[in-house]
Each structure stands twice: as C-alpha cells, then as structure tokens.
Amino acid sequence: MLRDYRPSGNAAAVETLHNPGANTFLGKLNMHEFAYGPTATSSYYGMMKNPHDPSKMAGGSSGGSAIAVATGMVAGALGTDTGGSVRIPAAFCGVYGLKPSYGSISRQGVLPLSWTLDHVGPIARDLDDIELLWRILSHRMDHQMSPLTSPRVLWVTDTTLDGLDLVVQQQMASARTRVGHLSAVDIVPGTLPRGEECRASQQLILGAEAVNYHW
C-alpha cells in the first residue's frame, strides 16, 4: 500500500540526527505493518528473521531496527514504542531498547498509532550508546543527571510468568542473581497490582485511537 509513498518531510527526531556533527547514516528499516504488532511477521517485505536463529521471530514492531543493531549493520537505530515495539524486538535480538519518559523525545512528524501511548525510542548494542542517542534526541547533551544512590528493582512473582520455557526461567533467575550481587541495587519481590486491568485498558486506548486516526 505504501511501497512508493514519500512523506513531505522528516520527523523531528530524524531531523535531529541530520544535524551537523551527528555523523549518522540514515535509512529506512523493515517493520511490522503500521507498527501494529509485536512479532515483525507481517510486512510487505516479508517476515523479519531473528539474527540469532532464523527460525525464530525478531519481535516487533521495530524488528528491522533491532536486527540492524544486533547484526552490526548500525551502532544504533530508532523505533517507536506504543506497547513494547522498541523493547520487544530489542529483547528478542539481544540488544537494548528504551521507551523514554513522556515528552523527552519529540514525536512531531511521526505517523501515530496511538497518540497518547506512542514514544520514539533508541535501540543500541550497549547502554552507553542508548544514553548517547537519548541525549542527542532529547537535546540534553549538556544535561547533568543525578545518579540513583540505591535503585529499586521490582521482581514480579505473580502468575504473569507462568508458562515460560524452562530455559527462559533459568536465564531470568541468573539475571536476578547477577543484579542481586550489585550492592547498590535493591531487589523487591512483588506483584503487578491489577495487571490484567492495566493491559485491557492499554489495548482499549490503543485500538480506539488507531481506528480514530487511520479509519
């Protein structure tokens, strides 16, 4: 439908990367159609395959961005995240993805899926590059951030983790152990209160706004 579509201009985030000194190579990457899906299996250009195992999905919707970063094609890439579309493919492909705070990166010029939930976010192979991209995109290169003296991490213990493959459970337990060895981090076991209600509300808002804009 949009194979030959040419937008009238760039999004503000892309224009920021065009600025002198950014030293970026800009190009379009594959994605789940209209950013509406977490699998990256629905695309005019075909299914996006996981670079670590081509028989597995790469995750979406920003699957092409995560693949490009994971394979070393680029040091960093952009995606949009409404309900996980930066974080899911980053996790599937073994890289980092950030859904930033509301308003920290401009969405001007970005075709919306759900205007109250959409975020522009970076994907990169390490956290230093994530921070650099965030600083560039949010125009905070000189901003001094106060370090967290004792960050708290919620470790979810309710039934939302039931059904995970054994290997995934083992990897999560290993990650918890490694984080727990960091003396500055406080791991707090707990549940996500009203998690299913939150998910239902998110889906309702996303669906209603997507139909309102695109129908």
Confidence of residue 23 (pLDDT cuts 50, 70, 90): low
Distance separating alpha carbons of residues 30 and 48, to the nearest angstrom: 8
Which among 145, 165, 191 is the end of a domain? 145
Residue 22: per-residue pLDDT: 61
Q: Residue 160: its pLDDT value, please?
A: 62
Q: In which band, very low, low, confident or very high, does the pLDDT at 88 lie, cut at 50, 70 and 90?
A: very high
Alpha helices in 138-194 (DSSP H): 166-180
Q: Based on the domain organization, do 185 and 137 belong to the same domain?
A: no
Q: Are residues 137 and 152 in the same domain?
A: no
Shared-domain flag, residues 140 and 111: yes
| pLDDT of res. 161 | 66
Question: In terms of domains, do 60 and 126 share one?
Answer: yes
Structural domain count, the chain: 2
Q: Are residues 127 and 189 in the same domain?
A: no
Same domain, 163 and 97: no
Q: Which CATH number is 92's domain given?
A: 3.90.1300.10
What pLDDT is recorded for position 66?
A: 97
Domain final position from 145, 177, 199: 145
Per residue in 1-14, pLDDT tens?
Answer: 667 778 888 999 99
Q: What does the pLDDT read at residue 186?
A: 86
Amino acid 215: pLDDT: 78
Q: What angle do CA 66, 34, 132 make, to 5 degrees?
A: 35
212 and 139 within one domain:
no
Domain that holds residue 199: 148-215
What pLDDT does residue 1 have? 65
Q: Which of 86, 116, 145 is the C-terminal boundary of a domain?
A: 145
Tokens at 188, concatenated: 């707090």
Residue 46 backbone class (left: φ over 0; alpha: ψ -120 to 50; beta: rest): left
- pLDDT value at residue 70: 98
Task: List pLDDT tens digits, range 124-179.
Answer: 999 999 999 999 999 886 777 777 777 888 888 776 667 788 888 898 889 888 88
- Do 131 and 110 share a structural domain? yes
Distance CA 66, CA 51 (A): 9
Specify whether 89 is located in the same domain as 141: yes
Check whether residue 131 and residue 173 sit in a common domain. Answer: no
Residues 112 and 157 both lie in one domain = no
pLDDT digits (tens, 9 = 90+) for 102-130: 989 999 999 899 999 999 999 999 999 99
Span 182-210, pLDDT tens digits: 777 888 888 888 888 988 999 999 999 99
From residue 72, give the alpha-carbon distance in Å to each of 91, 137, 165. 16, 21, 28
pLDDT at 94 over 90: yes
Rounded distance, CA 199 to CA 40, Å? 21
Amino acid residing at 74? V
Q: 33-66, pLDDT tens digit by residue? A: 888 888 888 887 888 999 999 999 999 999 999 9
pLDDT at 46: 84
21 has pLDDT over 70: no
Do 98 and 155 share a domain, yes or no?
A: no
